[in-house]
Structure 1
Amino acid sequence: MSSTGQLRSKVEKTLTRSRARSAALTDCLDGTDLLAQHSPLMSPLVWDLAHIGSQEELWLVRDVGGREPVRPDIDELYDAFKHTRSSRTALPLLSPEEARAYVSSVRDKVWDILAASPLDGRRLERDGFAFGMIAQHEQQHDETMLATHQLRTGPAVLHAPPPPPARVSAQGEVIIEGGEFTMGTTLDAWALDNERPAHPRFVPTFAIDVAPVTNGQYVEFIAQGGYERSELWSERGWLHRATEGLIAPQFWERDSDGTWWRRAFGVRAPVRPDQPVVHVSFFEAEAYARWAGKRLPTEAEWEKAARFDPSTGAVRKYPWGDAEPTEVHANLGQTHLEPADVGAYPAGASPQGVQQLIGDVWEWTSSDFEPYSGFEPFPYAEYSEVFLRGDYKVLRGGSFGTDEVACRGTFRNWDHPIRRQIFSGIRCARDV
């Protein structure tokens, strides 16, 4: 098969995987649940589904394909910047049946466009970027829809096998020697604008934990008054903790005998001590790190720990190398509905032995979401540029709900420091 044929096959598989997941997240619910707003932080699930089709139509059908619009009448309805999430239930949304028919009709046209595309030429189409961008967009909304499922009340409708058990010890920390490395990317064809360009970054020597912070470690933080000691929190974080009455990660409950339980996708189960803690805000992560005598890593530190190979001086796409993720490397793609215990993915470790940097939980960093020097918005400002320098902290590494197409060593996620409905966790670092 030619290189173009291989790329076309990759695009087809990636788009098919994304659509299968979107269908799985919406076909399991009736129309009432799809149209409902399960949290003011989230859109109705049917809005996400039609929005996925709308973006695909705008970029692949109209722009890349040069075809006539499918539904120009709904462009504004599914423009994420025209309507807040909390207001979308009041809109004249497509019904679930209409939304499914719409995204199907758009996808049918996309298959024809993909078959005819040389996957080359202008920047948007070169190396299949536009198709990769749309696949990433759909998978990002799929993870958002998964978070909506977590906020939804009612019996479980999503099911998946448990993650693998721990296979190796994942304790202690690793020293990352100071020096320069190449941060970001220019070569990754499907990397998004905020990951670009590649640039040299000097990072002083630091230590980073081998594994994410576990539930057991976080229970100790709670037991030792972590939510009651203002000195562990930033001024803004303490005010937020007090205002919201935070006493534990979101979705945790404590029985009268002191046992902690966690509700996940309609199932209530005891908190597993060796599982990475999930659903904590930046402020909680920051307070935990201070209690542990450490701090959160900067995103440059995180990326160096994840990508840099000190034996060669080269950077990798993933901690384990440039090979695409498999089930032995990381917990990704909603294969499981929870993080795996630390030590479950030794094959995914970095050259220096840092584990589970990819998948399981998004890891808060101390860095604000800012552009790299030489940043150019592409292909539209609303993906990154409008969020840069706002009230956002960077998260790295992906979660169990992140697909591999939207997760790599350079991928940058961001959110407000108060957010914890996302699949966010903690990894600590310290100065050396």
Structure 2
Amino acid sequence: MTGESRKAFLREALTATREQTLRLLDRVPEAFLRTRVHEFYSPVGWHFGHIGMTEEFWVCREASGVPPLDDRLSFLFANLPENPKEGRGELPSRAEIKDYLARTRQRTLATLETAHFDAAKPLLSGGYAWEFARQHECQHQETIAELLQLIHQTMGTGPDSPAGRVWSTSAAASAETEMISVPGGTFLMGSDDPGGYDNEKRAHPVTVAPFALDKTPVTARQWTIFLDDGGCRRPQLWTPEGWAWRCRENTLHPEYWKPGERGGFLYYGIGGLRPLHPDEPVSAVSWYEADAYARWAGKRLPTEAEWEYAAAFAPETGRRRHWPWGDPVAVCREPSADAETYADQGLRGDGPLPVGSRPRGTSALGLQDMAGGVWEWTASPFLPYPGFEAFPYDGYSKDHMDAAHFVCRGGSWATAESILRCSFRNWYVPTYRQGFLGLRCAAGTR
């Protein structure tokens, strides 16, 4: 791919990504633009400004030598110890944030036109700084979607007379799910893709023993059976730390579930309260909850290596895939034209589709929904791969490689396709449950 065609791809991708960001900004209630609704997050308005600040910092300043537009806004939207989350409520208006995004984007595109993709300079090689800005924006779109859920939960918005969808949980067998036998083998874990993040590198051989993995993620119906069987009241199913957390928080169901007035559950989605579909993947559960469910089911959480092997490895070729369903045709990792037919992704709708709704995205080993739907907790702490080097800064990955964060894989219905690659690593502390977080279970000796 030539430099000009790469620039054309980045220009188009940046534009499409920004259109999605602005649609999200229009959905934020004015009263909550500057309000901090949860201790884990900054106010939602800050995230929009942070998108522009990060883009300007890495693309304009670091890669292109262009000074910032406004030092005050650069500091206001920076993620710095001197600018803590609890002090980020003094934000500009919605119109001013839109203007800041427009002005920073104008400079970003101007630097793209004149850039020389110098392979000797990491931020310029292959247009990395522009690709990094795009993926960073996509990640914050998902964070903003999480905040929209929290806002609706805080507001209690939904039907005047909510009624949960009631489904049968009487048969214990309905908690069972088909499992796929995964043959053991050695594969290259991670990626050397130029557009990948530092924590995905370097690709290195890993051997996985034979195991079995649920064909689809755990569903809302299955989680309800776990609850009905006392799963949240049986300490023997939980780690000591997990049980202490559950008792302290009095956790009785996933974060955004709300008992219906006439039974069943509803769910606070990004558009407000809605019925919970029994076959949608359970979402908004912590690592502690996911681990307890797996124990209750007589299974376990997969390791990160097991998950990636099952998602990416293709026995017929002996090679790994970029996405569970295959590889991009272009070196630039250009998205497929009909990605939505392969994965539940891209913020389409108000929540995840029922499991198995995207059969075209089935992995070579027969697993469904390994990309999109919900992020899936693994048993593995977030640690560096052999040869890891922090880039472009320590704060993204390195500062969290402390064995206190656990890896999530696969992306969610709110994840952009560019992030659905099999090598992408996400991570959270085990108490975090405000995101689009679910699980699928494994069985067999690790």
- TM surpasses 0.5: yes
Alpha-carbon distance between aligned partners in 2 of 1:119 and 1:192, rounded to the nearest angstrom: 18
Equivalences for residues 28-43 of structure 1 within 5 A: 28-29=27-28, 31-43=30-42
Q: What is the count of residue pairs matched by the alignment?
A: 415
Aligned-pair CA distance for 1:43: 1.5
- Indicate whether 1:401 and 2:406 are aligned: no
Aligned partner of 1:355 among 358, 365, 368: 368
Q: Is the 8 A contact 1:307 1:317 kept in 2?
A: yes
Is the contact between residue 251 and residue 263 of structure 1 (CA under 8 Å) also seen in structure 2? yes
Q: Map Cα deviations across residues 180-199 of structure 1 (whole Å, 9 max, x no partner).
A: 1100011x121000000000
Q: Which moved more, 1:30-39 or 1:346-355?
A: 30-39
Query: Are residue 178 (structure 1) and residue 184 (structure 2) matched?
Result: yes
- SS of the residue corresponding to residue 341 of structure 2 reads coil
Paired with 2:3 and 2:318, the residues of 1 have a C-alpha distance of 31
Quote the residue 1:421 is aligned against: 434
Deviation at 1:30, TM superposition (A): 5.1
Partner of 1:130: 129
C-alpha distance in 2, partners of 1:403/1:266? 19
Partner of 1:112: 110
CA drift of 1:266 comes to: 4.5
Question: What residue number does 2:250 align with?
Answer: 245
- The DSSP-based 3-state class of the residue aligned with 1:70 is coil
Residue matched to 1:194 = 199
Rounded Cα–Cα distance in structure 2 between residues aligned with 1:290 and 1:29: 39
How has the CA–CA distance of structure 1 residues 171 and 294 changed in structure 2, closer, same or farther, with 3 Å as cutoff?
closer
TM-score computed with the length of structure 1 as normaliser: 0.92
Deviation of 1:256 (Å): 5.8
Q: Secondary structure at the match of 1:76?
A: helix
Q: In the alignment, which of 214, 221, 238 is matched to residue 216 of structure 1?
A: 221
Note the alpha carbon deviations across 1:36-55, whole angstroms, 9 max, x for none.
22223221122111111111
Segment drifting more, 228-237 vs 268-277: 268-277
Runs of 5+ unmatched residues, structure 1: 157-169
| Partner amino acid, structure 2, of 1:181 | F
Name the counterpart of 2:65: 66
Greater alpha carbon shift after TM alignment, 54-63 vs 233-242: 54-63
Where do 1:305-320 residues align within 5 Å?
305-320=310-325
Identity of aligned residues (%): 38
Question: How far did 1:390 drift?
Answer: 4.3
Partners of 1:331 and 1:383 lie apart in 2 by: 26
Q: Alpha-carbon deviation of 1:77?
A: 2.4
In the alignment, structure 2 segments of 5+ residues that lack a partner are 159-175, 329-334
Alpha-carbon shift at residue 414 of structure 1 (Å)? 0.4
Q: Which moved more, 1:37-46 or 1:135-144?
A: 37-46
Q: 2:93 aligns with which of 89, 92, 95?
A: 95
CA distance in 1 between counterparts of 2:102 and 2:32 reads: 21
Separation in structure 2 between the aligned mates of residue 233 and residue 49 of structure 1, nearest angstrom: 38
Matching residue of 2:161: none
Equivalent pair of 2:149/2:272 in contact (CA under 8 Å): no
Displacement of 1:303: 0.2
Q: 1:257: Cα distance to partner?
A: 4.8
Counterpart CA distance in 2 for 1:362 and 1:173 is 19
Q: Is the 8 A contact 1:206 1:431 kept in 2?
A: yes
Distance between the aligned counterparts of 2:3 and 2:249, measured in 1? Answer: 53
Which digits, 9 at most, give the CA deviation of each residue in 1:253-288, with x for residues without a partner?
224654222222343333211111011111110000
Q: Displacement of 1:95 after TM fit?
A: 2.8
Over residues 300-330 of structure 1, what are the superposed CA-to-partner deviations in whole Å (9 max), with x where a residue is unaligned? 0000001011122101101111134511100
Query: Does the 8 A contact of 1:41 with 1:86 survive in 2?
Result: no
Q: For 1:208 and 1:30, how far apart are their aligned partners in 2?
A: 41
Q: 1:226–1:291: 8 Å Cα contact kept in structure 2?
A: yes
Residue 369 of structure 1 contacts residue 392 of structure 1 at CA under 8 Å; is this kept in 2?
yes
Which residue in 2 is equivalent to 1:159? none
Distance 1:11 1:200, change over 3 A: same
Counterpart code for 2:86 = S
**Structure 2: how far apart are the matches of 1:421 and 1:96?**
25
Q: Which letter maps to 1:24?
A: R
Residues 242 and 30 of structure 1, relative CA distance in 2, 3 Å threshold: closer
